[in-house]
Chain A
Amino acid sequence: MNLAFDVIVIGGGHAGCEAAAAAARTGARTALVTQSANTIGVMSCNPAIGGLGKGHLVREIDALDGLMGRMADEAGIQFRMLNRSKGAAVRGPRTQADRKLYRLAMQAELRDYPNLTIVEAEALELLADQGQVTGLVTSVGRFVSGSIVITTGTFLRGMIHIGDERIAAGRFGDKPSNSLSDSLLKHGFDLGRLKTGTPARLDGRTINWSILDEQQADSEPEPFSYLSAGIKQRQVSCFITRTTLAGHRIIQDNLHRAAIHSGAITGRGPRYCPSIEDKIARFADRDSHQVFLEPEGLDDPTIYPNGISSSLPTDVQAAFIRTMPGLENVEIFRTGYAIEYDFLDPRGLKTSLETKHVAGLFLAGQINGSTGYEEAGAQGLVAGLNAARRACGKDAVTFGRDNSYIGVMIDDLVTRGVSEPYRMFTSRAEYRLSLRADNADQRLTPLGIQAGCVGFVRQSQFERKIERINSAVTRLQNIMMTPKEAGELGFSVNQDGVRRSAYELLAYPDIDFLRMADARPELKDIDRKTAEQIEIEAKYAVYLERQAADISAARRDEALAIPSDFDFLTVAGLSNEIKARLSAIQPETLGQASRVEGVTPAAVTLLAVMLRRHQKSLRMAKA
């Protein structure tokens, strides 16, 4: 075996797969070190990909030629576009994924991935010399590399809690990674604790489906990937049941036995994914909560009851579950549990996801305090890409709040840190109307081509798409109509004598492309996808312009770079508290500094003055 690699990625979860593939695509000789090749691509928790914000991330991963979108298209068994009735910016693609098919698709994809070697081993110790990564000690030997990406998810000193039972594990059935944790501590990293949970798994053959509400897949499923032609798998339904007062009582009577409430767990859990005992304690006035029953696979009877993750003892969970309609006689395959694990404060990262403390060391995924496959995958891609670029001496590629959810997430993580596992929501994106799932490729594929992580197939497909859009826009812009002509075609516009193009008319709320093409049949050959895209842009035009203005204003701040050796302590007039916060984070730009918690607008102004002065004196020193 070759013992030196350009890039080594530790962990075969969602972050690790994207990181390894991105590094390899970018041209680095890459090793993916993971405990078992069979668990590559395993979904630790719910069998679904996408959602609001998350679906946006998947599209962005895909736009950068990542894997998750294509794998989900391979394995998806219930595609639904969330918020279909709302505006395009807040629609989120989502699918239930067949757990086994997803894992197998990912393993098949990586097995033959050019430049990538899969190494089955446990990473034990990180080697570094003078603040620079040099290699890795694993259970099968030593490897040499100057760029290492750690994506060990929930495995670092993972501890499962079920009632008062504690099991050291990375997730159910997998050993935890303790020596890597120790190694990180030795390198001077601070480790914090977070927790998350998962519900019990049920035997679908023992559920009384006939009395439950059904939720079907979309009749015209829309794939994640811009490369996928369509959906492969048979589409199935989810079902909905509810918790009952009888069940709530069981939980209330046993609250003290939940690991979370007995004080056994110190890590913070996510507010948006509370355990059932949390929900019942915090929202005592609610007499029922919805529970989605989601199939885990086409040829698998396992059902994932979404909404009832729990750390209560097994007997309590079972009794509670059987109080729900349809589940009276259900058999339980596996009990739910909470897991506590180490994470590293993401404020110790640069926006490239390289640690500030040890050069060449990159972190991605749950280890950075995030949660979710999509969040992990997106970080993995960025870390892998930058690890590869570093290996060949190129500058890091970074993403901004104004071009992607990836940029929003990374900025949130590295400037604000986390107090609970971080999950993406569309409301986190201030430029939400510009950052849509439908235009992820237009926002990011050119950037990916430049960065070197987009392959030839995608590049040429993307270029053809852009050509189609541009030519259609030109055609629409060239069709000019007087208000009278527009009126004759049935469009109600102001009779103000102003000639308008067909493109401008699309901005009217009651004029869509179909009506336009009915009126002007020569437009009928524009394909549906292209038309849809143009229509969205036209409808949002006014708002998009306004956001573009905000973006360029923000860029001015963003552009004011803060030298990495800038000493915030020397800025007179800043309070000690603000100085301390800024020094701890060492933001890379003024924009980032302004988002650091506790930094006041007045402090930002002061800092701007100092930075401009600093730049000027550097220029003068050069001259």
Chain B
Amino acid sequence: MTDTIFALATGSLGCGVAVVRVSGPKASLIADRYCGGHVTPRQALYRSVSDPRDGTIIDQGLVLYFPGPNSFTGENCLEFQLHGSRAVVARLFQALSAEDGCRMAEPGEFIRRAFENGKLPLTSVEGIGDLIDARTESQRRQALSQAGGHLADRANDWRETLLDAFSLLEAEIDFADEGEAPSDVLPQVRLILADLLTDLQSALADADRGERIRSGFRVALAGPPNAGKSSLMNALVRRDVAIVSEYAGTTRDVIEVEFDLGGFSVLVSDTAGLRETDDPIEMIGIERTEREIKKADLVLWLNDVRSAGSDRDLGQSDSLRVATKMDLAEALPDWADVGLSVVSGEGINQLLALLEDRASRALSGEPPLVTNLRQRACVTSAARHLQSAMSHDGHGIELIADDLRRVSAELEALMGRIGTEDILGAIFSRFCMGK
């Protein structure tokens, strides 16, 4: 028999209300025994909650009971809304722990049960995971929308669209002899598929943003040794994370730090200074710098204000040329876009404002649909099979169907399943089949 689990669903105690959630086969029994008589399902009831063993009244509050499978976890679920007191919750837990087959939930166990019982699509589980990990406002918004079924809802729409196309194709294939089946469905199918493909592609176009909101906007600090990269890093994150010294070649490895900039997660990385070198360790560091530059959404290319600047092809990366140590010079040289000094502090706030602007341009807007690599992989292969489906003509109608099966398998993988019965069901509800 499955264990019945319980846990505090609200945050820290010593607050207004504490919600204790119970899920599992025994939840119905507990509802009736702890709450002074029968608890009507799906109604908020104000009751005294007591320990049935010794009759002690633990607290008074709202109790809510949802019988499975129509509940959050798909099992019997009971919710106590009590006073947010440490002592109250501890007493309730003590009583519940003494019940046979009843124990504290492990982290994430409610959600896991909900998923296992088919109550939540995988994308929502991922969203909930992201929400728990969210550190910035944009991450929170995105995770919440994913948990709320943003992508799952769209994927459901896509599956329905696919089902439309499928039922047309399969009706033409399987009911060719029954007279009443539609014939030459291809033009109609193509229209449906073209729309679907546009949808998938626009979701993918936005996928970068989704992944970036989760992982952070990447800013790489690069430039020749001693340009002041590590100094700037420490100034930006307001902590002493990187070693600063007058020796050229101090930083050898990439140091990455995340910080919150106006509600966006920004990942800055300090890198090894770029120069010709024979030192094998420094060479490895430089290689890593090059990789970091490629990954970055924005490269800050640093040079000492007194130098002649240095030009470098940064490939596709967006970049800003920064003159450092402005306290040692009069004016901003021509080669620089911005100037700053960690000693005088000038230019730092402007740089932060600039970064925030870039990050917000890259990350804000409606939360994107696709927010992680797994989701992106599913949607990408779905789009690929869809393109293949659209490449056949009427002689390959069974090949179109085969490709669409793969599209649907990818969407299934994304969140749930779709069976032949669904297709036949759609056919029968739309067309009059059968001689």
Contacts and interface: CB of A to CB of B under 8 A. Distances in A.
Instruction: Tell me, yes or no, whether A binds B.
Output: yes
Interface of A: 46, 51-53, 80, 82-83, 85-87, 89-90, 92, 94, 240, 270-274, 279, 282-283, 286, 289-292, 306-307, 416, 425-428, 430, 432-433, 543, 547, 569, 572-578, 598, 600-603, 606
A575 B174 contact: no
B402 A543 contact: yes
A426 B399 contact: no
Contact of A290 (B1, B173, B179, B397): B179
Q: Which of the listed residues B1, B173, B396 has the most CB atoms from chain A within 10 Å of its own CB?
A: B173
A307 B434 contact: yes
A430 B432 contact: no
Nearest to B2: A576
B432 to A, nearest CB: 4
B434 A575 contact: no
Interface in B62-101: 68-69, 74-75
B116 A433 contact: no
Contacts of B173: 52, 83, 86, 90, 426-427
A418 B428 CA distance: 16
Contacts of B75: 575-576
Contact of B118 (A306, A572, A600): A600
B74 A271 contact: no
B115 to A, nearest CB: 6
B433 interface: yes
Contacts of A87: 395-399
A271 B68 CA distance: 32
A575 B114 CA distance: 10
Contacts of A432: 398, 401-402
Contact of A52 (B112, B177, B421): B177
A85 to B, nearest CB: 7
B432 A86 contact: no
A92 B398 CA distance: 13
A433 B174 CA distance: 14
Nearest to A52: B174
A271 B421 CA distance: 12
B25 A289 contact: no
B177 A51 contact: yes
Contact of B398 (A53, A90, A286, A574): A90
Contacts of A598: 118
A90 to B, nearest CB: 5
B2 A602 contact: no
Contact of B424 (A90, A274, A427): A427
Interface majority SS (helix, strand, loop, mixed), chain B: helix
Q: Which of the listed residues B1, B177, B428 has the most CB atoms from chain A within 10 Å of its own CB?
A: B177
B176 A82 contact: yes
Q: 5 shortest A-B CB distances, which residue pairs?
A: A290-B179, A307-B435, A306-B435, A427-B170, A283-B432
Given A427-B173, A577-B69, A270 B396 contact: no
A274 B434 contact: yes
A270 B69 contact: no
Nearest to B116: A602
A575 B112 CA distance: 11
A292 B179 contact: yes
B420 interface: yes
B423 interface: yes
A80 B433 CA distance: 20
Given A82-B176, A274-B433, A602-B116, 7 more contacts: A80-B177, A271-B428, A272-B433, A273-B435, A416-B421, A427-B420, A600-B118
A426 B174 contact: yes
Contacts of A80: 177
Given A53-B174, A272-B428, A430-B405, A600 B2 contact: no
A430 B401 CA distance: 10
A308 to B, nearest CB: 8
Q: Which of the listed residues A46, A85, A547 has the most CB atoms from chain B within 10 Å of its own CB?
A: A85
A482 B175 CA distance: 44
Nearest to B115: A602
B103 interface: no
A427 B174 contact: yes
A427 B2 contact: no
Contacts of A92: 177
Contacts of A425: 170, 174, 424
Contacts of B113: 575
B261 to A, nearest CB: 38
A271 B423 CA distance: 13
Question: Which range contains the number of B residues in contact with the other chain?
Answer: 35 or more
B291 interface: no
Contact of A573 (B2, B402, B433, B435): B2
26 contacts: A51-B177, A52-B175, A53-B174, A86-B394, A86-B395, A87-B396, A94-B177, A271-B428, A271-B433, A272-B428, A279-B432, A279-B434, A289-B180, A291-B435, A307-B179, A425-B424, A426-B174, A427-B170, A427-B174, A428-B420, A432-B401, A574-B116, A575-B74, A577-B68, A577-B117, A598-B118
Given A425-B174, A576-B2, A577-B69, A433 B434 contact: no
Given A51-B177, A240-B179, A543 B399 contact: yes
A426 B432 CA distance: 18
Contacts of B399: 87, 433, 543
Given A52-B177, A289-B180, A602-B116, A89 B398 contact: yes
Contacts of A289: 180, 432
A304 to B, nearest CB: 10
A603 B116 contact: yes
B432 A286 contact: yes
B384 to A, nearest CB: 12
Contacts of B374: none
Contact of A273 (B112, B176, B434): B434
B126 to A, nearest CB: 13
B435 A427 contact: no
Contacts of B2: 572-576
Contacts of A279: 432, 434
B417 interface: yes
Given A86-B398, A87-B399, A427 B432 contact: no
A254 B179 CA distance: 26
A573 B105 CA distance: 13
B174 A292 contact: no
Given A52-B173, A426-B174, A90 B402 contact: no
Contacts of A271: 424, 428, 433-434
A292 B435 contact: yes
B77 to A, nearest CB: 13
A52 B432 CA distance: 17
B430 to A, nearest CB: 10
Interface in B154-211: 170, 173-180
B128 to A, nearest CB: 15
A37 to B, nearest CB: 31
A180 B180 CA distance: 40
A94 B170 CA distance: 18
A280 to B, nearest CB: 9
B397 A86 contact: yes
A602 B119 CA distance: 12
A86 B402 CA distance: 14
Q: Which of the listed residues A46, A82, A270, A572 has the most CB atoms from chain B within 10 Å of its own CB?
A: A82
Given A83-B173, A240-B179, A272-B428, A433 B435 contact: no
Contact of B116 (A274, A427, A606): A606
Contacts of A572: 2-3
A436 B115 CA distance: 38
Contacts of A46: 435
A54 to B, nearest CB: 10
Contacts of B428: 271-272
Contacts of A433: 398-399, 402
A271 B399 CA distance: 27
Nearest to A542: B399
Interface string B403-425: 00100000000000100110110
Contacts of A274: 432-434
